[in-house]
């Protein structure tokens, strides 16, 4: 914590301390307070989205992690890690649009069995999409996590990701 570069405090060390385990609940437990500290004190929405996707990629090695922001009447690609992806998703399309319309997390164990799934990559096998809300409760983005393993997401991921997304409440400026 408290690194100073060129006289400017950086806020905290830019590295994560993660347990060496495959138990995702332990990893989410370790990650949450570190992300909270990383996001606190930074008001730039894009910077915070970028650090969340980087942290999730580093912690879990997910195939694709990224945000789609509510913008111009659609879901528009934001910070992400993984292969290049489609840039705009209509509210009535894909798992992302479904989660947006439903207003709650959607877990898809097998994307081939989800009518309307948008296949940005054929390697993607399962998916979880979590809406991001601002302080007024309006959905301002969705977090999309894709796995190249079938049925890769459980209640542990739903809880862990929903808690992380809660840290992002604030101005989407
Ligand atoms: N599969 C998503 C589209 C986004 S990509 O997976 C990155 C969907 O069906 O909404």
Which sequence spans correspond to the domains of the chain? 4-166
**Ligand 1 within 6 A of 142 CB?**
no
Instruction: Give me the pLDDT at residue 45, please.
Output: 93
The residues near 99 (Cβ < 8 Å, ≥ 6 apart) are 105, 106, 129, 130, 131, 142
> Mind giving me the DSSP string for 113-131?
GSTT---S-TT--EEEEEE
**Ligand 1 within 6 A of 118 CB?**
yes
Cβ atoms of 173 and 45 closer than 8 Å: yes
* Residue 5 pLDDT exceeds 70: no
Q: What is the CATH class of 4-166?
A: alpha beta
Cβ atoms of 82 and 63 closer than 8 Å: yes
**Ligand 1 within 6 A of 77 CB?**
no
Counting from 1 in the atom list of ligand 1, the atom nearest the Cα of 124 is 6
Cα–Cα nearest to 100, from 132, 77, 122, 63? 132
Which residue reads 């399309």 in tokens? 93
Q: Residues 118-139: pLDDT tens digits?
A: 998 899 999 999 999 999 999 9
Instruction: Give me the pLDDT at residue 28, please.
Output: 98
Model confidence at 41, pLDDT cuts 50, 70, 90, reads confident
Could you tell me the pTM of the whole model? 0.92
Rounded Cα distance, 82 and 71, in Å: 22
Instruction: Give me the pLDDT at residue 170, please.
Output: 64
**Ligand 1 within 6 A of 127 CB?**
yes
* Residue 148 pLDDT exceeds 80: yes
Model confidence at 14, pLDDT cuts 50, 70, 90, reads confident
């Amino acid at each position: 914590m408290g690194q100073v570069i060129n006289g400017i405090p950086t806020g905290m060390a830019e590295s994560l301390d993660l347990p060496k385990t495959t138990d995702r609940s332990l990893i989410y437990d370790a990650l949450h307070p570190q992300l909270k500290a990383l996001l606190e004190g930074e008001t730039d929405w894009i910077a915070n989205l970028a650090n969340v996707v980087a942290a999730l990629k580093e912690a879990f090695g997910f195939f694709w992690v990224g945000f789609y922001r509510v913008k111009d009447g659609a879901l528009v690609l934001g910070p992400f890690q993984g292969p290049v992806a489609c840039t705009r998703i209509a509210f009535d399309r894909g798992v992302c649009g479904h989660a947006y319309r439903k207003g709650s997390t959607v877990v898809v164990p097998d994307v081939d069995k989800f009518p309307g799934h948008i296949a940005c990559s054929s390697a993607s096998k399962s998916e979880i999409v979590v809406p991001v809300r601002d302080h007024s409760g309006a959905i301002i983005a969705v977090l999309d996590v894709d796995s190249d393993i079938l049925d890769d997401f459980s209640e542990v991921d739903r809880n862990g990701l929903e808690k992380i997304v809660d840290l992002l409440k604030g101005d989407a400026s």
